[in-house]
Amino acid sequence: MGKLYVVPTPVGNLEDMTFRAIKVLKEADFVLAEDTRTSSVLLKHYDIHTPMTSHHKFNEHQTTEAVVRRIQAGETAALISDAGTPAISDPGFLLVRACIAQDIEVQCLPGATAFVPALVNSGLPSDRFCFEGFLPVKKGRQTRLKELSEEKRTIIIYESPFRILKTLSQLAEVLGPERRASVSREISKLHEESVHGSLAELIEHFTLTPPKGEFVLIIGGLSK
C-alpha cells in the first residue's frame, strides 16, 4: 500500500519551500494540485516533473475515491494547495479522512501556513487563539459574529480584498470600534504589510488605502 503526503507550499516567496517538501514532491508517483496551472510554476521552479492531477473543492467529492484506490494499489500521492497547508481553508480534509478510514498512512509535513506569521506579527496574545478561517458570506454570518463577540481568545480570520472593509465594519459594530486588531497582507511577498490598531483605525486605513492581496485579520479577545 502507498502513502499520502500532505505538503505545504509557500504562501508567497517560493524560497519558503522546505528541502523535504521538494524531495517528497519529486519522489511521489503523482501530485494532487488545487490548481495545476498555479502549481506548475512551483514545480517548474524546483525542477519537479511528477505528474499532476486536479483536486479542488469543486471535484474532491468525485475524485477522492479514485485517489484512495490508487494509493491502495501502491502509489504514493502528494497533496498540495495553491498556497499554504492543505486542509487549512483549502481542500484536503475529505481525502485525509478517507485515507485514515482505509488505514492508509498519512503524513503532513510542517511548513507554510499564513495565519502563523500574521499572529506572531500582530503583537496580540498568541498563547491561546481560535482559527475561524473565512467567515460565512451570507447565511450564518451574523450568528458567527455574535459568537465571536464573547470569544476571550485571540481570533484569526481570513479575508479577501473585496470583503475586508465590510468585515472590519461588521466586526466594529458587534465587537466595538476600539477592539484591538492587526491586519496582515501579502505575507512573505515583496509588498508584505501588517497594520495594527483599533478596528476603527483599521477601517480608516483601508478606506484611504485600497486593499490589495489576501488578508489575515487578527483580533484581540474579549477582555475580562
| CATH architecture of the domain with residue range 3-108 | 3-Layer(aba) Sandwich (3.40)
pTM for this model (two decimals): 0.91
Backbone angles phi, psi at 22, to 5 degrees: -60, -45
Confidence class of residue 45 from pLDDT cuts 50, 70 and 90?
A: very high
Matching residue, cell 480584498: 161
CA distance 127 to 166: 28
Superfamily holding 115-219: Tetrapyrrole methylase, C-terminal domain (3.30.950.10)
Q: Would you say 186 and 161 are in contact if contact means Cβ atoms under 8 Å apart? A: no
Is 80 exceeded by the pLDDT of residue 174? yes
Residue ranges of the domains in the chain?
3-108, 115-219
What pLDDT score does 146 carry?
95
Residue pLDDT, tens place only, 74-91: 999 999 999 999 999 999
User: Percent helix, strand, coil in the chain (nearest 5)?
Assistant: 35, 25, 40
Is 90 exceeded by the pLDDT of residue 57? no
| Best CA proximity match to 81, nearest among 71, 73, 91 | 91
